[in-house]
Chain A
Amino acid sequence: MVDATIPANTRTDAEPRGAKPKRALSGRNIMIYGTLLVFSLYYLLPLWVMVMTSLKGMPEIRMGNIFAPPVEITFEPWVKAWSQACTGLNCDGLSRGFWNSVQILIPSVILSIVVASVNGYALTFWKFKGSDIFFTILIFGAFIPYQVMLYPIVILLREMGLYGSLWGLVLVHTIFGMPILTLLFRNYFSTIPEELFKAARVDGAGFWSIYAKILMPMSLPIFVVAIILQVTGIWNDFLFGVVYTKPDLYPMTVQLNNIVNSVQGVKEYNVNMAATLLTGLVPLFIYFVSGKLFVRGIAAGAVKG
């Protein structure tokens, strides 16, 4: 008897060690997963409604439920949104806005990242008198409401002959992308060991060759983060597009708003939702492809340098 109980006892002694075995359906789990599921529904609902509405014909929308999947799938709203939807007198669809956005996006992303990465580089390894003051102003500039600087920039662009042009808008995106991107690059570059920089200096490398041959190749991840940040940010911009370009150069977001919120004509909700979804596709694509890098990009603004 005694012999038999001892091993049993030691076994029970050993058992409570480690994590307490969890029941799958404990009250705690129900609460946690319940909360997460309810909120997930809230987040997913608009995407679902957008897709479903964009695949229905107008008669079905008038009769049915916006949450229900289409009885008869049609891609006509997509075609119409892309190539026939009207803004004012133009009826060539969202495609024009899409190509405008692409034309704005590519130079803006490249220019803003080049400028900001050089800034970050100079601020980390080539500090000069007053460089930290400029950096501080830059960071504070990120918080100044754009409305305060809208008109002075109109004047500057007019003086430069760029007001209403694509390049004017590119310049505006470069300026307003600078604070966050410079912070991003400065924070990343300051984790690079200074010995590396010094060794390159001893070998006779100058400002630009260290940047191009050493820093850039070893900082590719942060460039990818910056690209993600800028592509979504610039694609989603509305205010600058509306202020600094002319109607035939309007980016996709502005054109989308003009299509959907136009007061003329019969409202075609399916075309509107297809257009909305089309405008959201580029940032959504970037988001789903980039995964955790996207999180890193948006968190960069919150992490102090």
Chain B
Amino acid sequence: MAEARRVNRMWRNMNAKIAAVPMILTTLVVFVGGTAWTVLYSFTDSKLLPRERFVGFDQYERLWSNSRWLTSIENLMIYGVLSLVFTIVIGFLLAVAMDQKIRFEDTFRTIMLYPFALSFIVTGLVWQWILNPEFGIQSIVRGLGWESFTFNPLNNPDLVLYGLLIAGLWQGTGFVMCLMLAGLRGIDEDIWKAARVDGIPTWKTYIQIILPMMRPVFITTLVIVAAGIIKLYDLVVAQTSGGPGNASQVPAMYVYDYMFQAQNLGQGFAASTMMLLTVLIVLIPWAYLEFGGKKHG
């Protein structure tokens, strides 16, 4: 790199700088500028249009005393924790199963990963149909003679998050499986040989040797899945529209509704700033672990 740079004259490098203009504009204007703008205007009382009348933390006080927002946050935490635990556990178990030199590996992978190619709208609508109490799983089990069987998560405020979870896991676990499988395949064969020579049983090798070695893969997966969960929106819109009542509301929905439906921009900005804060809480420790100690090429 250094020699190449020495060869370049200032005016020749101009072309590269011109080519980088879209990137520079995107990072500075949209990512940095846009984020700063939203954070700044979350301290105003903007309604239909943004205006510079600063009101301190009023919007945040209103936000945290709004029951719909509190439900959204609670839902996101419950859904988030369950979704993280289940995607990672299922993804890892499936990857281990796939790593046993099995037959039809490609077929299994194709089956597990195709939901990931589908949109959350499609995912939400299909599961809405399967979980439909009149025609779906509940009615079929009842038809088999178990008359009192109830499985109607989408219309039960206590269970609706699990209805979303079934759909969310269906869409995303195959992807996590692929990441984990890539991680498992990246582990040196010699480690396995050494463990076998020492007579360590396979399951113990996985838990005591392979799991710790896969730490970077787990962390990366965790960050990617967590960032996706915080953005959770389309799936809820399609599957439950936030209902029954407000039982399956999520923060992204609150933001959208206040910004574009209720014409209360300030609330929307405050809510989205809180979303950003949540991401930073996930992201900063990760960035510290990932880039903190060692220098990156």
In chain B, what residue has the closest Cβ to A44?
B111
Cβ contact within 8 Å between A207 and B19: yes
Assess whether A149 is in contact with B31, with CB atoms less than 8 Å apart: yes
- A144–B33 CA distance with the chains assembled, in angstroms: 12
Within 8 A of A (CB), among B112-131: 112-123, 125-130
A43 contacts B97, C-beta separation under 8 Å: no
Q: Is B70 an interface residue (CB 8 A)?
A: no
Query: How extensive is the interface on chain A, given as a class?
Result: 35 or more
- Which of A207, A276, A280 is in CB contact (< 8 Å) with B16? A207
Which residues of chain A are within 8 angstroms of B227 by Cβ–Cβ distance? 143
A122's partner among B19, B26, B273 (CB-CB below 8 A) is B19
Partner of A287, one of B19, B117, B223, B255: B117
B260 interface hit (Cβ, 8 Å): yes
Cα of A138 to Cα of B29 in the assembled complex, Å: 12
Interface residue A162 (Cβ < 8 Å from any Cβ of B)? no
Chain A residues with CB under 8 Å of B276's CB are 144-145, 148
The residues of A that contact B182 with a CB separation of less than 8 Å are 299, 302
- Does B27 contact A141, Cβ atoms closer than 8 Å? yes
Q: Return chain B residues, CB-CB under 8 Å to A153.
A: 30, 34
Query: Looking at the complex, which one of B4, B102, B120, B174 makes contact with A238 (CB distance below 8 Å)?
Result: B120
Q: Tell me if B35 counts as interface (CB < 8 A to partner A).
A: yes
Q: Which residues does chain A contribute within 8 Å of B130, judged by CB atoms?
A: 45-46, 49, 66
CA gap between A28 and B24 in the complex, in Å: 55
B72 within 8 A of A: no
Question: In the bound complex, how far is the Cα of B287 from the Cα of A131, in angstroms?
Answer: 19
Given known contacts A35-B94, A151-B265, is B129 in contact with A134 (CB within 8 Å)? no
- Once bound together, how far apart are the Cα atoms of A291 and B237, in whole Å? 30
Residue A110 is within 8 A (CB to CB) of chain B in the complex:
no
* Nearest-CB residue, chain B, relative to A202: B7
Are A137 and B140 interface neighbours, CB within 8 A?
Answer: no
Partner of B275, one of A147, A182, A201, A276: A147
Instruction: Say yes or no: B20 contacts A122, CB within 8 Å.
Output: yes
- List B contacts of A39 (CB < 8 A): 90, 94, 112
**Given A66-B130, A66-B135, A67-B140, residue A144 in contact with residue B35 (CB < 8 A):** yes
Q: Does A53 lie at the interface of the complex (its beta carbon under 8 Å from any beta carbon of B)?
A: yes
B23 engages A256 (CB within 8 Å) = no
- Bound CA span A285–B193, Å: 41
B136 CB within 8 Å of chain A: yes
Nearest chain B residue, comparing its CB with the CB of A130: B24
Q: What 1/0 flags go to B4-29 for Cβ under 8 Å of A?
A: 11011000110111011011101111
Whether B279 sits at the interface, judged by CB under 8 Å, is yes
Q: Are B260 and A243 in contact (CB under 8 A)?
A: yes
| Residues on B with beta carbons closer than 8 Å to the beta carbon of A145 | 230-231, 252, 272, 275-276, 279
State the interface size on chain B (CB cutoff 8 A).
102
Contact (A43, B34) CB under 8 Å given A49-B126, A148-B276, A256-B125: no
B32 at the A/B interface (Cβ < 8 Å)? yes
Q: Given contacts A148-B275, A151-B268, A301-B224, are A126 and B13 in contact (CB under 8 A)?
A: yes
CB of B122 within 8 A of CB of A286, answer: no
Interface string of A109-146 (1 = CB under 8 A from B): 00000010011011101111001001001101101111
Task: Map CB proximity to B onto A8-52 as digits: 1 under 8 Å, 0 otherwise.
Answer: 000000000000000000001000110110011011111101100
Question: Which residues of chain B (131-179) have a CB below 8 Å from chain A?
Answer: 132, 135-136, 140, 143, 170, 174-175, 178-179
B71 in contact (CB, < 8 A): no
Q: Are B224 and A115 interface neighbours, CB within 8 A?
A: no
Cα of A279 to Cα of B124 in the assembled complex, Å: 13
Given contacts A47-B114, A66-B129, A238-B119, contact A152 B38 (CB under 8 A): yes
With A and B bound together, what is the CA distance between A123 and B22 in angstroms? 13
Q: How far is the CB of B106 from chain A (nearest CB, A)?
A: 8
**Distance (whole angstroms) from the CB of A217 to the closest CB of chain B:** 18
- Chain B nearest CB from A36 CB (Å) reads 5
The minimal Cβ–Cβ distance linking B270 to chain A, given in whole angstroms, is: 11
Q: Are A43 and B112 neighbours in the complex by a CB distance under 8 Å? A: yes
The interface residues of chain B lying within 8 Å CB-to-CB of A286 are 117
A95 vs B229: C-alpha distance when bound (angstroms): 31
List the A side residues contacting B273 at CB < 8 Å. 148
Cβ of B57 under 8 Å from chain A: no
Contact mask for chain B residues 91-109; partner A; CB cutoff 8 A; 1 contact, 0 none: 0011001101010000011
Known: A206-B15, A276-B125, A276-B126. A294 touches B117 (CB 8 A): yes
B241 an interface residue at 8 Å Cβ cutoff? yes
Residues of B within 8 A of A83 (CB): none
Residues in chain A near residue B34, CB distance under 8 A: 148-149, 152-153
6 closest pairs, A vs B, by CB?
A: A236-B119, A126-B16, A152-B34, A207-B15, A141-B31, A287-B117
13 contacts between A and B (CB under 8 A): A46-B126, A61-B135, A122-B23, A126-B15, A128-B16, A146-B231, A151-B265, A238-B120, A261-B241, A276-B125, A279-B119, A287-B117, A299-B178
